[in-house]
Amino acid sequence: MGPWVRAAGLVLGSALLFKALQRGLRRLPLPAHVRRDPTRAWRWRNLLVSFVHSVVTGLWAVLGVWQAPEMLLDIENATPASGYLLLCFSAGYFIHDALDIIVSHQSRASWEYLVHHGMAISAFFSGIFLGRFMAAGMLSLFVEVSNIFLTIRMLLRLSNTPAPALYTLNKYINLGMYLLFRLAPQAYLTWYFVRYVEVRGQGAFLIVNLFLLDAMILTYFSRLLRSDFCPGRRRSSKDPADRKFLD
């Protein structure tokens, strides 16, 4: 079996695994506030799948770098076996989630995340099939540790659960995780690419991808601060908080 066929099989297997997980979650009961609306029910199950992906991928990425920290010094040429499998696993999730958004007619509400998923899939594929920057992909997936608490935040809001103490606790943990596992790794990747990576071919493609992701992350961070730490701000009916992800 050729390496490209093997990689395609791993990505497809991952996408099918998340599809099976989504089907299995349909058996679980829904909160009362969620089951009254089909769109909320879809969002709830979609976020649960996202939560599972974040837990597995975030811990996998951190453990992989913890076991081989030397890859941080050469994120272009380091080729950890665990990184290859992780990128295949995560690419499969993003393909599944993008298709779920499209098939469920949520493309308009979640267009930003379709753009994000397209960027992530193309970047991961470049690492998987070209055998370079796999360590960069692993480091970028540190963001999934932050997404664990971000997803908890969104599930609490979506379910309309009266748990202000839990929401407040998670709000501050979420902020800390955002700084530590989202902004800090992204800043290191940006610094490394600007300083060491040649702007041609795959390197040029990934640098453009990285700068776009920087802009998205900073935008989401400002929205998060306004939403959770500026309670006096009134939300309009078009506030992105009513959409799939973070406002």
pLDDT at 80: 87
Q: Residue 163: pLDDT above 90?
A: no
Give the residue with greater pLDDT, 3 vs 168.
Answer: 168
Lowest mean pLDDT among 1-5, 132-136, 162-166, 167-171: 1-5
Helix (H) or strand (E) holding 12, with range, is helix 3-25
If you average pLDDT over every residue of the chain, what do you get? 90
The packing angle between helices 111-130 and 81-103, to 10°, is: 150
The packing angle between helices 143-159 and 38-67, to 10°, is: 160
What is the spatial distance between Cα 141 and Cα 85, in angstroms, rounded to a whole number?
13
Q: What whole-number percentage of the chain has pLDDT above 70?
A: 92
Looking up tokens 């202000």, which residue turns up? Answer: 164
Q: Could you tell me which of 130, 228, 144 has the C-alpha nearest to residue 186?
A: 144
pLDDT at 161: 78
Kindly report, residue by residue over 57-97, the tens digit of the pLDDT. Answer: 999 999 999 999 999 999 999 988 899 999 999 999 999 99
Kindly report, residue by residue over 187-245, the tens digit of the pLDDT. Answer: 999 999 999 999 999 999 999 999 999 999 999 999 999 989 886 654 544 444 444 44
Q: Residue 162: pLDDT above 90?
A: no
**Neighbour-count burial of 41, counting CB atoms closer than 10 A to its CB (0-12 exposed, 13-18 middle, 19+ buried):** middle
Kindly report, residue by residue over 90-146, the tens digit of the pLDDT. Answer: 999 999 999 999 999 999 988 998 999 999 999 999 999 999 999 999 999 999 999
pLDDT at 239: 42
Residue 247's pLDDT band (boundaries 50, 70, 90)?
very low
Q: Residue 174: pLDDT above 80?
A: yes
Kindly report, residue by residue over 16-35, the tens digit of the pLDDT. Answer: 999 999 999 999 999 988 98
Report the SS3 class of residue 126.
helix
CB 197 within 8 A of CB 132: no
- In degrees, rounded to 5, the angle at the alpha carbon of residue 61 between the alpha carbons of residues 55 and 62 is 90
What is the spatial distance between Cα 138 and Cα 181, in angstroms, rounded to a whole number?
12
Model pTM score: 0.91
